[in-house]
Structure 1
Amino acid sequence: MPITLYIVRHAKAEDRAMFMSDHDRQLTSDGIMAAARIGRYLHGKSIAPDALISSTAPRAKDTAKVIAEQIGYDPATIQLNDLLFDGGPKAYLAAINALPNDLKSVMIVGHNPDVSYLAEFLTHQNIGSMSKGAVVAITFDGTNWAEVSGRTGSVVFQIAPKQLPQE
C-alpha cells in the first residue's frame, strides 16, 4: 500500500525587519489568502492527511493552520517540530523516518531551500525552487516511513497558489 507525503513551503511572509528574528516573521494577508486557496484546492482533491507536522516558525505554523482549516484537519493536533526551522533537509528526513507506520499520508510544512531540496532528493526529479505556499505530493510504493530516502518517491502533483484562480 503506498504512502503519501505532502511537502508544503510556507506562504508569503512579511519581510525581515532589523529588530525581528527570522524565526518570528508572520504571514502577510496575501500569504493567508494563498494558504487558504491551496487548502481549498487540496480539499477539492479529497486530501486529508493522517498527520500534519510544521516548523515552529509562525509563518509555517499559520500556513499549516490555514490549510488544516480548509481540509477539515483539527489545527489543535498539528505537530510542531523545532528542528524544521533551521535543521536542513536532514531534519525533515529524520522527522519523516520517525513517523509511525499506521499513518498513510502526512503533510509537512516548512521552509526553502530545505523543502525543495527534500522533494528533489526523495524523487530525483527537477522540482525547482518551490514558490511560497506551494505543495508537492509524493508517493512511496512498497515502503514504510523509516525506509523513505533518496529516489524512493514519485511526484503525483506540484501546485502553487499562483497557479490557482484568484477569488
Structure 2
Amino acid sequence: MLVVVRHTLYLLRHAKSSWDDPELSDRARPLAKRGRRAVALLGEHLRETAVAPDLVLCSSAVRAVETLEGVRDGLPPGVAVEIEDDLYSADAAALLERLRALREAVGSVMLVGHNPELEELAGELAGGGDPDARARVAAKYPTGGLATLAFEGTWRRLDRHDATLEAFAVPRELGR
C-alpha cells in the first residue's frame, strides 16, 4: 500500500529591521519598532490559525532571530528550533536543498529568512493554490510576510511547482 504524506512549509520573512545604526553589519541589524509591533500581530495570527510546525529553521541574522522570538508565543511549546548561519546567505536553490535534507518525520517546517530568497522559493514551489495569495506573493513579499505551502510527497523529492500556496498573511492586514 502506497502512503502519501502531506507536508506543510511556512515561509516567514523577518519583520521590519532598523537602519538606525549605520555602524552595524547587515547581519547584526535588529528589528525596528514597526517590526516588533508586526511580530506581535504575527504571533497572534499563528496562534489563531493553529500553525504548529514540527521544526523551525531560522537564519542567524539578528532580525530573523528577533522575529522568531517575537512570534514564539504563537507556536506550540517545545517546538524544535535550529538557528543556522548558512540560511543568512542562502539563495532559493540552497534553501530548497536544505528542505530536501529534512528527515521525513518532520511533517511541517517554518523557515524564517530573507528576501528575495523566500519570495523566489515560494514562487518556484507554488504550482497552484489560492489565486489571490499567489498574485500577492508575486507582487510583493513584504517584511513579516508568511506564506503557507503544502505538498504531498517527500522532502527529498520536493521540486518546482510541487506545492500549493494555501495562504499568504502580512502584518498590515492582521488585527483589523
Q: CA deviation at 1:17?
A: 4.0
Out of 109, 114, 125, which is 1:111 matched to? 114
- Give the structure 2 partner of residue 98 of structure 1: 101
Task: Write the deviation string for residues 14-63 of structure 1: whole angstroms up to 9, x where unpaired.
Answer: 01643211111001122122112112111111111100010000100111
Look up the SS of the partner of 1:40 in the other structure: helix
After alignment, is 106-115 or 65-74 more displaced? 65-74
- Amino acid of the residue matched to residue 139 of structure 1? A
Between the aligned residues of both structures, percent identity stands at: 28
Matches within 5 A, 1:25-104: 25-74=29-78, 77-104=80-107
- Give the structure 2 partner of residue 19 of structure 1: 23
- Give the structure 2 partner of residue 135 of structure 1: 146
- Tell me how many residue pairs correspond in the alignment: 164
Look up the SS of the partner of 1:46 in the other structure: coil
- Give the structure 2 partner of residue 153 of structure 1: 163
Gaps of 5+ in 2: 128-133
* Cα distance change, pair 29–74 in 1 and its aligned pair in 2 (3 A): farther
Task: Write the deviation string for residues 84-136 of structure 1: whole angstroms up to 9, x where unpaired.
Answer: 11121122112111111001111000000000000001114542231110100
- Amino acid of the residue matched to residue 167 of structure 2? F
Instruction: State the superposition RMSD in angstroms.
Output: 1.6
Q: List structure 1 segments (4+ residues) > 4 angstroms apart after TM superposition.
A: none
Gaps of 5+ in 1: none
Structure number with the higher strand fraction is 2
Q: Structure 1-normalised TM-score?
A: 0.91
| Larger Rg belongs to | 2
Look up the SS of the partner of 1:132 in the other structure: coil
